[in-house]
C-alpha cells in the first residue's frame, strides 16, 4: 500500500516537528510522502522532499487536516492510506508504517487504525487515549468506535465514501463524527497497542476553548449523526456526566455557553445513522448514548 502523512502545525514547535519528520522518514518500507500544513502560520524549515501548504488563517484541526488530505488529490486518492500525526509526536518504532500496511491489506473492512499514545519518558498511556469504555489495559488491541485525531491511519477510500472531517467543529469530537459515518458505511476501526506515537502527557483543558468546544460539538455530533430518539438521550447523559465531574465555575459557564451554541447554531448536514449501526456500536462496547 502507498502511504502518505498529514501533519498540521501552528509553527511554534519547530524542533518537535523536525524530530517527527525524521521519525517518519526512518520508517521501514517504501517512502512515505509527507505534507505539512501551516494552519494560519508559516511552516518552519523542513527537510527536502517534504511538501508544505501555508494557510492564511487557522481553519481548526479538521479544516487543516482536510487541506492536507486534498494535497494528495481528491479525497487523498493519490495514496491508499494517510497517517495523521500531531506535530509534537514521534514514531519511536521503525515498523509502524509496515504494521499499518499489513493491517489494511489483511482486512478489507478495516478503514481506520488508531495508535497507542505513550508518554516518551514514562511510557504510560493516559486512560483518555484508549478509545473505549474499558480502558484499564492500554496494551490490549481491539475493535473500537472512534479514534485519536493525532495518531491514526485512515484508508483514503473511507474519506472518498463518507466525506472529510467536519470543518464546522474546528476542535474536539471531529474524529468521532468521521468514525460514526465510517461505521455506518460498513467500515471497521481498530485500536492497535503495538503501533505507538510518543507524545508528552498533557491535559486537553490546556486549550482555552476546550470546555465550550467540547459541549457544542457533543450536541452537533448527536444532531448530525444519531436517530432522533437518541439525540436527547446522548446529550442528556453527557450533561449529567459533566455535572458529576464538578468542573470549576468558569469551566462550567463556558461549557453551558457551548451547549447553547450546539442547539442554536447550524452544524452541517444531518445524516442519521442506521439502527443497525447503533446495534454495531453497542456490540463493540460503546452504544451511542455515552
pLDDT tens sequence across 27-61: 999 999 999 999 999 999 999 999 999 999 999 99
Element (H, E) at 240: helix 230-244
Query: What pLDDT, on a 0 to 100 scale, did the predictor assign at position 206?
Result: 57
Mean per-residue pLDDT for 263-285? 97
Q: Give the pLDDT of residue 8.
A: 98
H or E stretch including 249? helix 249-264
Task: Let me know: does 170 contact 61? Beta carbons within 8 Å.
Answer: yes
Average pLDDT of span 162-170: 98
CA–CA dist 47, 289 (Å, integer): 45
* pLDDT tens-place string over residues 7-16: 999 999 999 9
DSSP structure class, residue 90: B
Q: How far is CA 114 from CA 99, 199, 200, in A?
A: 12, 14, 17
Q: What is the mean pLDDT of the chain?
A: 96
The Cα 160–Cα 166 span in angstroms is: 14
How much helix, strand and coil, in percent to the nearest 5, is found in the chain?
40, 20, 40
Mean pLDDT score, 152-159: 98
CB contact at 8 A, 129 and 148: yes
Is pLDDT at 202 greater than 90 in this prediction? Answer: no
8, 29, 129, 149, 190 from 61: Cα distances, Å = 8, 29, 17, 9, 22
- The average pLDDT across 163-171 equals 97
Q: What is the pLDDT of residue 74?
A: 98
Its pTM stands at 0.96
| Element spanning 161, H or E | helix 156-162
Q: Taking residues 281-288, what's their average pLDDT?
A: 96
Task: Say how far apart CA 283 and CA 16 lie, in whole Å.
Answer: 39
pLDDT band at 204 (very low <50, low <70, confident <90, very high): confident
Band (87; pLDDT cuts 50, 70, 90): very high
Eight-state DSSP code of residue 79 = S
Q: Identify whether the C-beta of residue 204 lies closer than 8 Å to the C-beta of residue 128.
A: yes
The yes-or-no verdict on residue 205 having pLDDT over 80 is no
Cα–Cα distance for residue pair 211/219, rounded to 1 Å: 13
Q: Which residues contact 25 (CB under 8 A, 6 or more apart)?
A: 31, 32, 47
User: What average pLDDT does range 202-212 have in this prediction?
Assistant: 76
| Residues recorded for the chain | 290
Q: Which residue, among 47, 33, 46, has the nearest Cα to 1 in the 3D structure?
A: 33
Confidence class for position 284, pLDDT limits 50, 70, 90:
very high
Q: At what angle do helices 249-264 and 230-244 cross, to 10 degrees?
A: 170
DSSP codes of every residue in 170-205? -SSSHHHHHHHHHHHTT-EEEEEEEEEEE-----GG
pLDDT at 203 over 80: no
Asked whether the beta carbons of 285 and 239 are under 8 A apart, the reply is no
**What percentage of the chain carries pLDDT values higher than 70?**
99
Amino acid at each position: 500500500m502507498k502511504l502518505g502523512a498529514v501533519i498540521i502545525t501552528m509553527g511554534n514547535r519547530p524542533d518537535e516537528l523536525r524530530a517527527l519528520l525524521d521519525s517518519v522518514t526512518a520508517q521501514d518500507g517504501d517512502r512515505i510522502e509527507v505534507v505539512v500544513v501551516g494552519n494560519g502560520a508559516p511552516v518552519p524549515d523542513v527537510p527536502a522532499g517534504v511538501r508544505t501548504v501555508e494557510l492564511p488563517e487557522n481553519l481548526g484541526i479538521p479544516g487543516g487536516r482536510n487541506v492536507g488530505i486534498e494535497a494528495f488529490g481528491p479525497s487523498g486518492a493519490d495514496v491508499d492510506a494517510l497517517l495523521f500525526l500531531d506535530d509534537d509526536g514521534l514514531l519511536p518504532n521503525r515498523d509502524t508504517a509496515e504494521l499499518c500496511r499489513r493491517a489494511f491489506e489483511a482486512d478489507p473492512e478495516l478503514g481506520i487504525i488508531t495508535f497507542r499514545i505513550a508518554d516518551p519518558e514514562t511510557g504510560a498511556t493516559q486512560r483518555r487515549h484508549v478509545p473505549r469504555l474499558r480502558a484499564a489495559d492500554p496494551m490490549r488491541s481491539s475493535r473500537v468506535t472512534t479514534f485519536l485525531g493525532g495518531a491514526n491511519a485512515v484508508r483514503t477510500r473511507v474519506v472518498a465514501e463518507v466525506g472529510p472531517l467536519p470543518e464546522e467543529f474546528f476542535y474536539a469530537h471531529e474524529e468521532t463524527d468521521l468514525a460514526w459515518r465510517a461505521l455506518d458505511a460498513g467500515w471497521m476501526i481498530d485500536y492497535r497497542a503495538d503501533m505507538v506515537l510518543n507524545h508528552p502527557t498533557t491535559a486537553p483543558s490546556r486549550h482555552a476553548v476546550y470546555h465550550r468546544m467540547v459541549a457544542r460539538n457533543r450536541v452537533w455530533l448527536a444532531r448530525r449523526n444519531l436517530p432522533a430518539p437518541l439525540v436527547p438521550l446522548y446529550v442528556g447523559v453527557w450533561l449529567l456526566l459533566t455535572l458529576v465531574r464538578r468542573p470549576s465555575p468558569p469551566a462550567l459557564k463556558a461549557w453551558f455557553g457551548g451547549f447553547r451554541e450546539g442547539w442554536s447554531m447550524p452544524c452541517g448536514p444531518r445524516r442519521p445513522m442506521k439502527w443497525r449501526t447503533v446495534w454495531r456500536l453497542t456490540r463493540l462496547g460503546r452504544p451511542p448514548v455515552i
